[in-house]
């Protein structure tokens, strides 16, 4: 170890910040030997000083305001672990870059909303803006797109990017409990937030997807262009029917480049039970990438938590310590194109439909004639527990068809007299 230590300032000492501090101490010798340099925490900032007495912070300076780290003369790298797309986190990162400091962040909301501007700032100062920890926790997927898979044109990116959702869907599947029950338990265990909407409504997945899309397709991050549906509407019945049909339900983020433009969508999907993504359980994340040279590739690991996120944050710091410099989104930030959005209506997709109908003569004829009108071809039809006059579940799967036709059919079916609940539609992805 010959070079000067790399001096970092950490903003935010919650789960992730604590993990970074602890891992840096625990593996200090190992890390220093790998980069031939020491990493020194010279300053920290957190909401509550007294709460962090147990952390091995040595004689790091305490800053009352996070932004002070950006102005601290001894800080080479600002590590932003506060979160949120605006306010303190944004101000801190902007100021740090303007002041010629490198920035490492785990903040997906910030990068999804302001990644391009921040990248321009970083490039203009020739500083690093690194955000490996913002997507899929410990999985080095940002580096994979930025560096390791650079020879490829990508056919598709599909990921399980939110551990909370995957935990909930896995638990529903294995324990046969409904969404609300599992969510309540996840909240008790600390796997889900008190206000779970960021996770279960798909927003967190959309943030991560938007970042991956930009890396894969060289487009400007376009969070507004992501079609987002969450998992609240998934009923236990859907999970059981999926199983019978040979599928597992996962919340996926999917990006593709089509003739119409860039397609970005987050919604529950049925994936074949034997597929790699179906086997991703609990709070694990996974990203499936299909490149023209490399073919199908899967990266799986823990998508959140102190250790995995710290691993990604520290890897970014180590790259800086080695003197690496790169453009945050691979292409020069001002060459990231605003691309057309492929309209959701133009999607060609197979789907599963569950209809709660009163079991009486002619209902199935009404339904199937709507499919005929919309030229949707059915793949299978399942009707259980037939009892004239009572409510039955009719489960249909379609061949690949246009989303707009599906939506019209769902609307018309929903308006039928025999329907006792709105139709449930889940798209099928044959990965």
What is the C-alpha to C-alpha distance for residues 138 and 311, in angstroms, rounded to an integer?
6
- Nearer Cβ to a copy of itself (213/397): 213
Catalytically annotated residue among 98, 208, 296, 335 = 208
Q: Are the beta carbons of 19 and 309 closer than 8 angstroms?
A: yes
What are the strands, taking DSSP E only, across 107-200?
Answer: 129-130, 154-160
Per the listing, tokens 């997507």 go with 135
What number of other Cβ atoms are within 10 A of residue 359's Cβ? 18
- Of 299, 255, 260, 259, residue with least CA distance to 280: 299
What is the C-alpha to C-alpha distance for residues 305 and 289, in angstroms, rounded to an integer?
23
Q: Are the beta carbons of 413 and 354 closer than 8 angstroms?
A: no
Q: Are the beta carbons of 430 and 365 closer than 8 angstroms?
A: no
What is the C-alpha to C-alpha distance for residues 148 and 212, in angstroms, rounded to an integer?
14
Task: Tell whether the torsion through CA atoms of 330, 296, 306 and 86 is positive or negative.
Answer: positive
What number of other Cβ atoms are within 10 A of residue 35's Cβ? 18
- Nearer Cβ to a copy of itself (12/291): 291
What is the C-alpha to C-alpha distance for residues 83 and 92, in angstroms, rounded to an integer?
11
Q: Rg of the chain's alpha carbons, rounded to an integer?
A: 24
Per the listing, tokens 């249909």 go with 396
Give the nearest distance from C-beta 248 to a copy of itself in angstroms.
13
**How distant, in Å, are the alpha carbons of 124, 233, 272, 361 from that of 352?**
49, 14, 13, 23
**How distant, in Å, are the alpha carbons of 145, 251, 372, 404 from that of 344?**
25, 17, 22, 8
Beta-strand relationship, 284-291 and 247-258: unpaired
Give the nearest distance from C-beta 302 to a copy of itself in angstroms.
5
- Nearer Cβ to a copy of itself (206/283): 283
Give the nearest distance from C-beta 33 to a copy of itself in angstroms.
6
- Of 3, 54, 23, residue with least CA distance to 305: 23
What is the C-alpha to C-alpha distance for residues 322 and 119, in angstroms, rounded to an integer?
20
208 classed as catalytic? yes
Q: Are the beta carbons of 29 and 100 closer than 8 angstroms?
A: no
- End-to-end alpha-carbon separation of the chain, Å? 47
- Nearer Cβ to a copy of itself (36/421): 36
User: H or E segment at 343?
Assistant: none
- Nearer Cβ to a copy of itself (143/424): 143
Catalog residues that contact a copy of itself under the rule CB under 8 A.
Answer: 19, 23-24, 26-27, 30-31, 33-36, 132, 137-140, 143-144, 147-153, 218, 274, 276, 279, 291-302, 305, 307-308, 310-312, 314-315, 318-319, 322, 324, 326, 330-332, 335
- Nearer Cβ to a copy of itself (330/397): 330
- Nearer Cβ to a copy of itself (152/237): 152
Q: Are the beta carbons of 135 and 212 closer than 8 angstroms?
A: yes
User: H or E segment at 359?
Assistant: none
- Nearer Cβ to a copy of itself (292/421): 292
- Nearer Cβ to a copy of itself (99/326): 326
> Which residues participate in catalysis according to the annotation?
208
């Amino acid at each position: 170890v010959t070079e000067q230590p790399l001096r970092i300032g950490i903003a935010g000492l919650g789960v992730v910040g604590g993990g970074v501090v602890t891992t840096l101490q625990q593996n200090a010798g190992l890390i220093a030997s790998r980069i031939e340099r020491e990493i020194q925490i010279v300053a920290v900032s957190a909401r509550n000083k007294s709460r962090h007495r147990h952390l091995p912070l040595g004689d790091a300076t305490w800053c009352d305001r996070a932004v002070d780290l950006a102005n601290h003369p001894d800080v080479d790298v600002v590590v932003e672990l506060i979160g949120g797309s605006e306010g303190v986190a944004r101000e801190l990162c902007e100021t740090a870059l303007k002041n010629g400091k490198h920035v490492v962040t785990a903040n997906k909301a910030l990068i999804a909303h302001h990644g391009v501007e921040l990248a321009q700032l970083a490039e203009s100062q020739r500083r690093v803006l690194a955000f490996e920890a913002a997507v899929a926790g410990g999985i080095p997927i940002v580096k994979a797109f930025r560096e390791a898979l650079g020879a490829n044109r990508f056919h598709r990116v599909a990921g399980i990017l939110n551990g909370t959702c995957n935990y909930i869907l896995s638990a529903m599947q294995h324990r046969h409990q409904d969404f609300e029950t599992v969510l309540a338990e996840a909240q008790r265990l600390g796997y889900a937030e008190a206000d779970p909407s960021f996770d279960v409504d798909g927003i967190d997945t959309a943030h991560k997807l938007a970042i991956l899309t930009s890396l894969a397709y060289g487009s400007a991050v376009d969070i507004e262009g992501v079609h987002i549906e969450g998992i609240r509407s998934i009923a236990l019945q859907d999970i059981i029917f999926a199983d019978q049909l040979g599928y597992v339900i996962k919340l996926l983020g999917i990006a593709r480049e089509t003739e119409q433009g860039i397609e970005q969508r987050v919604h529950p999907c049925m994936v074949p039970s034997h597929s790699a993504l179906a086997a991703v359980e609990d709070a694990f994340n996974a990203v499936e990438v299909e490149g023209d040279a490399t073919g199908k590739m899967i990266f799986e690991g823990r998508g959140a938590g102190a250790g995995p996120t710290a691993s990604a944050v520290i890897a970014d710091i180590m790259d800086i310590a080695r003197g690496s410099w790169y453009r945050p989104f691979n292409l020069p930030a001002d060459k990231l194109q605003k691309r057309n959005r492929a309209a959701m209506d133009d999607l060609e997709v197979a789907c599963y439909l569950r209809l709660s109908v009163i079991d009486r003569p002619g209902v199935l004829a009404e339904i199937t004639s709507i499919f005929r009108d919309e030229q949707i071809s059915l793949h299978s039809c399942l009707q259980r527990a037939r009892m004239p006059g009572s409510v039955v579940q009719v489960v249909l799967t379609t061949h690949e068809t246009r989303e707009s036709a599906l939506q019209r059919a769902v609307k018309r079916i929903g308006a039928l007299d025999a329907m006792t609940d709105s139709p449930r539609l889940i798209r099928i992805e044959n990965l």
